[in-house]
Amino acid sequence: MKKLLKDSVLMAALVAGVMATGMAQAGHGEDKVWADDQSVANGTVTAKKVNTGANGWLVVHRTDESMKPGPVVGHAPIKKGMTQDVAAILTEEVKSGEMLMLMVHAEDGGMKTGIFEYTLGAKEDGPIKNDGKLVMQTITAK
């Protein structure tokens, strides 16, 4: 009986480990932004989904073909885990055809929690990177 119980516990642990590995490989748990090209006529930009390992910010940067983040033109708070339909209010006019970079920033290093304090190049509330790469999605405004 003890051997059967021990074998059952071992098998359950192995199955749980395989499932967790499969979920990680499928993209559950990795920091990521999902967004499509969209109209900005209503003064907002929306990410379909954002997944992150910590509370932080979805930040909208101007960008172009160089794919370098430019000035911030909007932001919205995000919570740890998967969040859907994250809408950032634009603080500047964005015209149809302009490229925007929706990027995950940390809530880290600033003077106040819950206040977005990042300025281009600063460390406060700065970008999150995975393996040295920014967590972001580039879209074109319609």
CA dist., res. 132 & res. 134, Å (int): 7
Place of tokens 């073909």: 65
Does 21 score more than 70 pLDDT? no
Q: What is the DSSP letter of 131?
A: T
Q: Which long-range contacts (CB under 8 A, 24 or more apart) does 63-67 make?
A: 63/99, 63/100, 63/101, 63/138, 64/99, 65/99, 67/101, 67/138
Q: How confident is the model at residue 11 (pLDDT cuts 50, 70, 90)?
A: very low
Task: Give the DSSP letter of residue 127.
Answer: B
For 83-98, what is each residue's pLDDT tens digit? 999 999 999 999 999 9
Span 4-22, average pLDDT:
43
Question: What does the pLDDT read at residue 5?
Answer: 44
Across all residues in the chain, what is the average pLDDT?
Answer: 85
Identity at 118, one-letter amino acid code: Y
> For residues 49 and 85, what is the distance between their CA atoms, to the nearest angstrom?
6
Distance (Å, rounded) from C-alpha 48 to C-alpha 52?
14
